[in-house]
Amino acid sequence: MDVPLELPLLLDDNTAWGFSARTAKSVKNGADAVCAQLKQLAQHRAEYGKSLPAETAGHVPVCGTLGPSGILLPPAGDSNFEDVYDICRGRVCALKKLGARFLLLERQTSLADMRASLLAARGFKIPVFCCLSAGKNAEEKFLPALITLQAMGASAVGLCGIPDESMLSVLKKAVPYASVPLAVVADAPASCTPEAFAKLIRPLLGIGIRLIACGKNTSQEHLCAAKAIMKKYGPPEIPEESDCYAAATEWETFFLGDDIRFSRPIRCSSLLGDKLINLDDEEVSAALVKIESISDARILGANSTMAKLPVAIRSDSATELEAALRYFQGRLIIDSTSPVGREVLEPLADKYGAILY
- How far apart CA 98 and CA 43 sit, in angstroms, is 10
Q: CA–CA separation, 118 vs 122, rounded Å?
A: 6
Q: Is 152 in contact with 118 (CB distance < 8 Å)? A: yes
Q: What is the pLDDT of residue 54?
A: 46
Question: What share of the chain in percent tops pLDDT 70?
Answer: 95
Find the angle CA(183)-CA(124)-CA(243) to the nearest 5 degrees.
Answer: 40
Q: What is the pLDDT of residue 58?
A: 54
321 within domain boundaries = yes
Domain termination site, one of 199, 230, 261 = 230
Domain co-membership, 69 together with 197: yes
Q: What tens digit of pLDDT does each residue of 233-253 get?
A: 988 887 777 889 999 999 999
Same structural domain for residues 211 and 291?
no
In a domain, residue 2? The reply is no
Q: Which of 200, 230, 260 is the last residue of a domain?
A: 230
Domain identity same for 119 and 188 = yes
Domain containing residue 50? 9-230
pLDDT at residue 93 above 90?
Answer: yes
Burial class (CB in 10 A: 0-12, 13-18, 19+), 146: buried
pLDDT level of residue 84 (50, 70, 90 thresholds): very high
Which residue, 230, 254, 280, sits at the end of a domain? 230
Confirm whether 153 is domain-assigned: yes
Q: Give a three-class secondary structure readout of the chain.
A: CCCCCCCCEEEECCCCCCHHHHHHHHHHCCCCEEEECHHHHHHHHHHHCCCCCCECCCCCEEEEEECCCCCCCCCCCCCCHHHHHHHHHHHHHHHHHCCCCEEEEEEECCHHHHHHHHHHHHHHCCCEEEEEECCCCHHHHHHHHHHHHHHCCCCEEEEEECCCHHHHHHHHHHHHHCCCCEEEEECCCCCCCHHHHHHHHHHHHHCCCCEEEECCCCCHHHHHHHHHHHCCCCCCCCCCCCCCCEEECCCCEEECCCCCCECCCEECCCCHHHHHHHCCCCCCCEEEEEECCHHHHHHHHHCHHHCCCCEEEEECCHHHHHHHHHHCCCECEECCCCCCCHHHHHHHHHHHCCEEC
Residue 127 confidence (pLDDT) above 50:
yes
What's the total number of domains in the chain?
Answer: 2
- Give domain status of residue 3, yes or no: no
Asked whether 212 and 183 are in contact (CB, 8 A), the reply is: yes
Residues 6+ apart with CB under 8 A from 257: 285
Q: Whole-number mean pLDDT of the chain?
A: 92
In a domain, 33, yes or no: yes
Give 52's pLDDT tier (boundaries 50, 70, 90): low
Residues 133 and 224 both lie in one domain: yes
Q: What is the CATH number of the domain that holds 209?
A: 3.20.20.330
pLDDT at 55 over 70: no
**Angle separating helix axes 318-327 and 342-352, nearest 10 degrees:** 10
Residues 114 and 189 in one domain: yes
> Under a CB-based contact definition with an 8 Å cutoff, are residues 63 and 11 in contact?
yes
Report how far residue 189's alpha carbon sits from residue 179's, in angstroms, rounded to the nearest whole number.
30
CATH of the domain at 319: 3.20.20.20
Co-location of 66 and 39 in the same domain: yes
Residue range 98-107, pLDDT digits in tens: 989 999 999 9
**In the chain, what percentage of residues exceed pLDDT 90?**
78
Q: CA-based Rg of the chain, rounded to a whole angstrom?
A: 21
330: Cα within 13 Å, side-chain hemisphere: 29
